[in-house]
Structure 1
């Protein structure tokens, strides 16, 4: 009975590994992808390879390699958790590249690699001798216990990012931002199952009880989570595209037609795209008219629902129009308008008595920290430096 279950389970592992490859391909095919996609690809690689390793372990030769397992087998547990936290960090804070300080999260893996090379050299470059080295089993136990500690640590860190993101956005986030949060919450909960079951299996292993079923359980969670991520990439591709910068304008109508042709091979789909594009242009025009005339963004509690009421359009229609036409989320669009307003106020000599915090509040920002972050991202200087530079002219 158990060999049959194990055989079907191996198919699930192979499915998880193949889905990881598919997901990595989808994430990297867009040249203008956000850097967070790289971290998600690392996550898929780590989880997918772990699934493949279990598949190979079940079927052995020719899929299973003793040499590969000797070098990286215990390390797999260390690679499962940091990418989850880092992906959340890079997704919601929109970093343009890898931050040097984040190498600390991979330091256990770096130390593992150095120690493994030491074992290999000390064993006269022999895999068989290395596997009988006095410290070989110690390496495996250290990795298991360290992974047991890393799991809850990164789960808590990731949960904190999600809570901060929700608190910061409140009602101001678009459907796209909402999808990011909800989707990643599900990933984070599955991640919790992995380290809980993995931690139990580590404890059980060291009480000399076969933990094989527990290993199967958390690898099943990995495979299902990988599939969920790939479905997300297919179903909501806009979530995995860069949205912080405006798209490059079309030089003429011919280039626009060429772009539409690449997206669709059929005339019917092209007509549908053009029709939707025209509707979205109308929505953008209505939004800009309302913003210019009423400056609704100066209301600190202004939300996507408020904008929907002001222009008589649905939340989803507005979100899609902003993303497709301006390549911005509602949150970024409103805060960029607030930055423009703050620049006007900072440049006014009659308002020199206003504090920077007062300018931020007058422009519509709830917190000075969000104001500073957006202002520096856009203008590359702090509000105080900008004010001094403008007023000294």
Structure 2
């Protein structure tokens, strides 16, 4: 029977395995999902299976298979690190299928499986004889040492991509969007702890330190990481949706549509200018241009969107825009933009299918940089807090 510590630890392992199953379901249930989700699901599968294997190893009996352990036990170490790197790579470079050159990352696994098959054949298809084979322990040791080298290598490669993309988001989008990448950094740190403890267990195997406790240590980190991943997928599903990052094809289509809109607007202006339209008509035309661009592009979702950006988007001066908003809508630019953001957040809060979205996530998605500003405007317009509004809207 396992000790009390092992019994409690086995519960944590089973919890980690259950979180892996939940995360894989949430990541793969949508047909229109980024291919990178498949890489993350692969990583979660390996980490979750490793947790289950440790749980079964502690309790043995019907839960534990000597045959399965003989064939794939040592291989688990080789599966822990490549998928997290491939996930980040496929997400940020927007790959839509598995790249053939990335088979090189699984080369140690392919070699392991081939060598395992050779040992099985050389042992006359006997698991018992295979475990006594003179090269059986070599396979286990080589897997552990290769994984020890893989850990820091893939951590560095993942960190490099995250750093590059973080800088790109800060430049091209907003601080809020770049902050969302912090969850990747957290996972990468957990990943680092796993390979550090795993590496120590490999290097110090012949010393007085019992490697079993080191295995327990990094499996505990894996189980907690799986819980964190499941929480992030459930709480911030937008991070794992097809349209969170700008897709190249969508961006190209958007640019074409933008050119068509601009050409149409320029033609309208030229025609009306030839007829010497009045100031009121000019202001009304500006309002229509603003409403059109806001409806089609939702520029207000950028937390750093300002009057200069709007002036560039519709090819009008700052003063003309401010005058048109004040004279026709009796609103300042600041109030007009935040009103649109409140409309967007109200729509998301009223949607039952988005009931699991956090209020903070909805505010961010709607374009608010500050939660205090969001709450102040929301209560000023609706008279209730966002949580009360959501409850009333969904229950009505």
TM class by smaller structure:
0.5 to 0.7
Cα-Cα RMSD: 3.3
TM-score (ref. length: structure 1): 0.65
Which of residues 292, 298, 311 is equivalent to 1:284?
Answer: 298
Whether contact under 8 Å (1:46, 1:79) holds in the other structure is yes
Q: CA deviation at 1:313?
A: 3.3
| Change beyond 3 A, Cα 1:282–1:173 | closer
**Alignment correspondent of 2:67:** 67
Residue 293 (str. 1) matches residue 314 (str. 2):
yes
Residue 192 (str. 1) matches residue 228 (str. 2):
no
Q: CA deviation at 1:215?
A: 0.6
| Change beyond 3 A, Cα 1:133–1:55 | same
Most deviating of 54-63 and 89-98: 89-98
| Change beyond 3 A, Cα 1:66–1:289 | same
Q: CA deviation at 1:92?
A: 1.2
| Change beyond 3 A, Cα 1:285–1:187 | closer
Whether contact under 8 Å (2:169, 2:175) holds in the other structure is no
Residue 6 (str. 1) matches residue 27 (str. 2):
no
SS at structure 1 position matched to 2:3: helix
Q: CA deviation at 1:84?
A: 0.9
Q: CA deviation at 1:282?
A: 8.9
SS at structure 1 position matched to 2:204: helix
Max Rg structure: 2
Question: Matched residue pairs, number?
Answer: 281
| Change beyond 3 A, Cα 1:35–1:311 | farther
| Change beyond 3 A, Cα 1:309–1:169 | farther
1:30-58 superposed Cα distances (whole Å, 9 cap, x missing partner): 11000010000001001000000000000
CA distance in 1, matches of 2:218, 2:334: 46
**Alignment correspondent of 2:338:** 313
**Alignment correspondent of 1:33:** 33
CA distance in 2, matches of 1:317, 1:35: 32
SS at structure 1 position matched to 2:26: helix
* Structure 1 unaligned residues grouped into runs of 5+: 248-279, 297-307, 325-393
CA distance in 1, matches of 2:343, 2:110: 46
**Alignment correspondent of 1:17:** 17
| Change beyond 3 A, Cα 1:228–1:67 | same
**Alignment correspondent of 2:221:** 221
1:144-165 superposed Cα distances (whole Å, 9 cap, x missing partner): 0100000000000000001111
* Structure 2 unaligned residues grouped into runs of 5+: 252-293, 318-332, 350-396
SS at structure 2 position matched to 1:75: helix
Whether contact under 8 Å (2:169, 2:178) holds in the other structure is no
Most deviating of 27-36 and 281-290: 281-290
1:244-281 superposed Cα distances (whole Å, 9 cap, x missing partner): 2659xxxxxxxxxxxxxxxxxxxxxxxxxxxxxxxx84
CA distance in 2, matches of 1:315, 1:105: 47
TM-score (ref. length: structure 2): 0.65
